[in-house]
A and B are shown apart, each in its own frame.
Chain A
Amino acid sequence: MISLQGITKHFGAHTVFKDIDLSLSQGEIIVIIGPSGTGKSTLLRCINFLEKPDAGRLQVGDLKVDTQRASRADILALRRRTAFVFQNYGLFANKTALDNISEGMIVVDKLPKAKAHARAREILERIGLADKADAYPASLSGGQQQRVGIGRAMAANADVILFDEPTSSLDPQWVEEVLGLMKQLAVERQTMIVVTHEMQFAREVADQVVFMDEGGIVEQAPPEELFTAPKDERTRHFLRKILAPTGQAVP
């Protein structure tokens, strides 16, 4: 169970969002959509404290954190329960695919090296990169790098994986393999929050779609509802703009 209560974030005088409430149960998949600059990335980053929220409470599993009183230990604990997949992969350039995946298990979870490597090999198998164990990120395609990025998040064994536009930096030919892997995780009921512009993916995979616009969450609904009968005019406007060029049905 993951819940956000009253999460607020300012950058200087600019309030990105205020009083965000969001909760999901284990195995639930939430997709967040919305125009650029509305704070989707910032919200995900607040969940694992890459940004410090300015107000609110977070709960992940049995860990409850008042963001204004979070100690260093709270922050580390929170980060261990949440894994992040970045738009630009963020792979460790000095480590092979295998080591990128096993690094957290060795350093953070303190698993013995042999065990961590064995688990990392299993994960490489699942992400379809068993033959790339010894490859450095620089020699992998964008799609392969992002799959390693997802593998690293899987290795964290977190309660939730946060995806921030995982396919936005990819050349079009690699998008499908990454979305495919995410769908596979969805089938396994991996809890996740995904920020994406891939509406088809949202339709297929999301349990709930959240539409964010200036200052917060405008509406939240299951995909069939949000995509066909959005309640708010801003949602309709956004969906028309983003769906029309792709030939998908417009509300």
Chain B
Amino acid sequence: MLNLEYMWGLLPVLLSYLPLTLQMATIAMVFALILACLLAVVRVSRVPVLNGLSLLFISFFRGTPLLVQLFLFYYGLPQVISSLIAITGVTAAVLGLTLHFSAYMAESIRAAIVGIDRSQTEAALSIGMTQSQLMRRIILPQATRVATPTLMNYFIDMIKATSLAFTLGVTELMGATQKEAAGSFLYLEAFLLVALIYWVIVEMLSWGQRRLEIYLNKAYQR
């Protein structure tokens, strides 16, 4: 049946590609968060022009498949922007993941911001705070707490989505598995093993997420 010995031997090989996978996900997550906050603030404050652009951006990146977006950045864009010819698979993947997930996260953050009781905004303005002080000190800290569980879900999705980078020739966890499997012809073993690796990582994150949620639900109660 299953060649367990092969799987055992493959484990350290595949795990050595895990850092790249986690790095891509983490970097994309950080940029996506920043971008999502900006998009959300623009949407909430209805900044003229920018608001329309944000809507268009969010609509496009939520409305098209991630794989299509990755191909667009990696294979498509260099055709028109020649300086992008040197774009690496990793960069294209991080860029695609950032833009794609920022569109989703912007909507969650926006919902969290809108959910904060309007009277706090008025109170902050009434004592002479500026819009940006209001955002930074009152609204965003609270919105972050509200949105964190959802954002954690996106991070989990993001980790799984990094596997698409192998289609851009990146040898990350999935790319490495593909190569190993093609060499050994033990497809079931290789892909089963990589599935287990993703699963364990996601489970660990879910555990952290539950802990975080318990902590956040206790927030502001003292």
Looking at B123, B129, B141, which has the most chain A CB atoms within 10 Å of its CB? B123
The answer, among A88, A103, A134, for a CB contact under 8 Å with B119, is A88
Kindly provide the distance from the CB of A105 to the nearest chain B CB, expressed in whole angstroms: 9
The answer, among A79, A86, A93, for a CB contact under 8 Å with B142, is A93
Q: Are B220 and A86 in contact (CB under 8 A)?
A: no
The A52-84 residues at the B interface (CB cut-off 8 A) are 76-77, 79-80, 82-84
The B135-151 residues at the A interface (CB cut-off 8 A) are 137-138, 141-142, 145
Q: A91-B120, A92-B120, A107-B133 are in contact. Are A84 and B126 (CB under 8 A)?
A: yes
Chain B binder among A9-17, A136-144, A180-188, A198-206: A136-144
Kindly provide the distance from the CB of B215 to the nearest chain A CB, expressed in whole angstroms: 14
B220 partner residues in chain A, CB cutoff 8 A: 93-94, 136-138
Q: Are B222 and A79 in contact (CB under 8 A)?
A: no
B203, CB-defined interface residue at 8 Å: no
The answer, among A76, A86, A139, A153, for a CB contact under 8 Å with B222, is A139
A89 partner residues in chain B, CB cutoff 8 A: 119
Q: How many CB-defined contacts (below 8 Å) exist between A and B?
A: 80
Which A-chain residue is minimally distant from B116 (CB atoms)? A93
Which A-chain residue is minimally distant from B134 (CB atoms)? A107
Q: Are A86 and B123 in contact (CB under 8 A)?
A: yes
Bound CA span A129–B10, Å: 64
Which B-chain residue is minimally distant from A96 (CB atoms)? B222
A124, CB-defined interface residue at 8 Å: no
A136 partner residues in chain B, CB cutoff 8 A: 220-222
Kindly provide the distance from the CB of B140 to the nearest chain A CB, expressed in whole angstroms: 10
The answer, among B116, B130, B221, for a CB contact under 8 Å with A138, is B221
Mark interface residues in B188-222 (1 if CB within 8 Å of A CB, else 0).
00000000000000000000000000000001111
Bound CA span A107–B129, Å: 7
The A21-79 residues at the B interface (CB cut-off 8 A) are 48, 50, 76-77, 79
A193, CB-defined interface residue at 8 Å: no
Bound CA span A62–B22, Å: 60
Bound CA span A80–B133, Å: 15
Q: Are A134 and B142 in contact (CB under 8 A)?
A: no
Q: Are B141 and A94 in contact (CB under 8 A)?
A: yes
A90, CB-defined interface residue at 8 Å: yes
Bound CA span A112–B152, Å: 36
B116 partner residues in chain A, CB cutoff 8 A: 93
B122, CB-defined interface residue at 8 Å: yes
Bound CA span A156–B142, Å: 23
Q: A94-B141, A134-B222, A137-B220 are in contact. Are A86 and B119 (CB under 8 A)?
A: yes
A117, CB-defined interface residue at 8 Å: no
Q: Are A108 and B222 in contact (CB under 8 A)?
A: no
The answer, among B117, B123, B145, B219, for a CB contact under 8 Å with A152, is B123
A95 partner residues in chain B, CB cutoff 8 A: 138
Kindly provide the distance from the CB of A192 to the nearest chain B CB, expressed in whole angstroms: 14
Mark interface residues in B97-141 (1 if CB within 8 Å of A CB, else 0).
000000000000000000011011011111111100100011001
A90 partner residues in chain B, CB cutoff 8 A: 117, 119-120, 122-123, 126
The answer, among A50, A139, A153, A156, for a CB contact under 8 Å with B125, is A50
Q: List 26 A-B contacts (CB under 8 A).
A: A50-B125, A77-B128, A79-B125, A79-B126, A82-B126, A84-B122, A84-B123, A86-B122, A86-B126, A90-B122, A90-B123, A92-B123, A93-B120, A93-B142, A93-B220, A94-B219, A95-B138, A96-B222, A104-B129, A108-B127, A108-B128, A108-B129, A136-B221, A138-B221, A149-B123, A156-B128
